[in-house]
């Protein structure tokens, strides 16, 4: 006599595998949709950052000098004579004016500023209290992001082998009141 294996358990096992596959596919589809959503959000945020001009970035926060490096990339103390005059608080207003202060909140300079469209050069026009021009200076921008503003200074005019990068980071330090 021939015996047959009941088909019901096999059918149940196949049904269970198919159901598991469908659930996995749904979970994978949901994960893919979530990842696509995250990617879209990141791209949207990056596009918003791209919409900011270099001038917008510079004017978006107050800046504090937090470091300096030399041409070899070595740290330079902020009280070093080659960088100390560049140390302080900087406030670049969206209207194209700026104010800078020493770290003890004493006034350093004020005037007008611009950044070229590419974000490679900052130009400042320092003015006295009467609005007379004291000097103008172009500075090469090394880094300009929401997290860092670094520009380069050359102590010897015409010698680009010796330079110092002046590093600034955002600060919540309130601009000192005009005296």
What is the structure's pLDDT at 36?
56
Confidence of residue 7 (pLDDT cuts 50, 70, 90): very low
Rg (C-alpha) for the chain, rounded Å, is 30
For the question of whether the overall pTM of this predicted structure is more than 0.75, the answer is no
Give the burial class of 142: count Cβ atoms within 10 A of its Cβ; 0-12 exposed, 13-18 middle, 19 or more buried: middle
Question: Pick from 148, 139, 137: which is nearest to 58 by CA?
Answer: 148
Rounded Cα–Cα distance for residues 161 and 144 (Å)? 22
Rounded Cα–Cα distance for residues 85 and 150 (Å)? 15
What is the structure's pLDDT at 12?
44
Residues in the chain, total? 179
Q: Which pLDDT tens digit goes with each residue over 51-88?
A: 899 999 999 999 999 999 999 999 999 999 999 999 99
**Does the pLDDT at position 44 exceed 90?**
no
- Cβ 88 vs Cβ 100: under 8 Å: yes
Q: Which pLDDT tens digit goes with each residue over 8-43?
A: 444 444 444 444 454 444 444 555 555 555 665 556
* DSSP sequence for 20-34: HHHHHHHHHHHHHHH
Q: Which pLDDT tens digit goes with each residue over 80-98?
A: 999 999 999 999 999 999 9
Confidence of residue 113 (pLDDT cuts 50, 70, 90): very high
Confidence of residue 148 (pLDDT cuts 50, 70, 90): very high
Question: Pick from 118, 159, 152: which is nearest to 138 by CA?
Answer: 152
Average per-residue pLDDT in the chain?
83
Rounded Cα–Cα distance for residues 178 and 171 (Å)? 19
| Beta strand segments in the chain, E | 62-70, 89-92, 97-101, 107-115, 121-127, 133-144, 149-153, 164-171
- Cβ 35 vs Cβ 136: under 8 Å: no
175 vs 20, higher pLDDT:
175
């Amino acid at each position: 006599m021939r015996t047959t294996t009941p088909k019901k358990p096999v059918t149940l096992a196949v049904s269970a595998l198919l159901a598991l596959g469908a659930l996995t596919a749904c979970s994978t589809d949901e994960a893919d949709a979530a990842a696509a959503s995250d990617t879209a959000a990141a791209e949207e945020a990056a596009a918003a950052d791209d919409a900011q001009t270099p001038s917008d970035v510079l004017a978006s926060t107050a800046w504090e000098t937090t470091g300096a490096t030399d041409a070899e990339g070595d740290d330079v103390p902020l009280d070093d004579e080659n960088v100390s005059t560049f140390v302080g608080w900087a406030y670049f207003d969206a209207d194209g004016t700026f104010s800078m202060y020493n770290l003890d909140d004493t006034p350093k300079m004020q005037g007008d500023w611009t950044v070229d469209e590419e974000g490679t050069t900052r130009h400042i026009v320092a003015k006295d209290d009467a609005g007379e021009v004291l000097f103008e200076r172009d500075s090469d921008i090394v880094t300009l992001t929401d997290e860092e503003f670094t520009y380069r200074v050359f102590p010897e005019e015409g010698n680009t082998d010796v330079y110092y990068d002046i590093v600034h980071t955002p600060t919540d330090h309130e601009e000192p009141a005009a005296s």
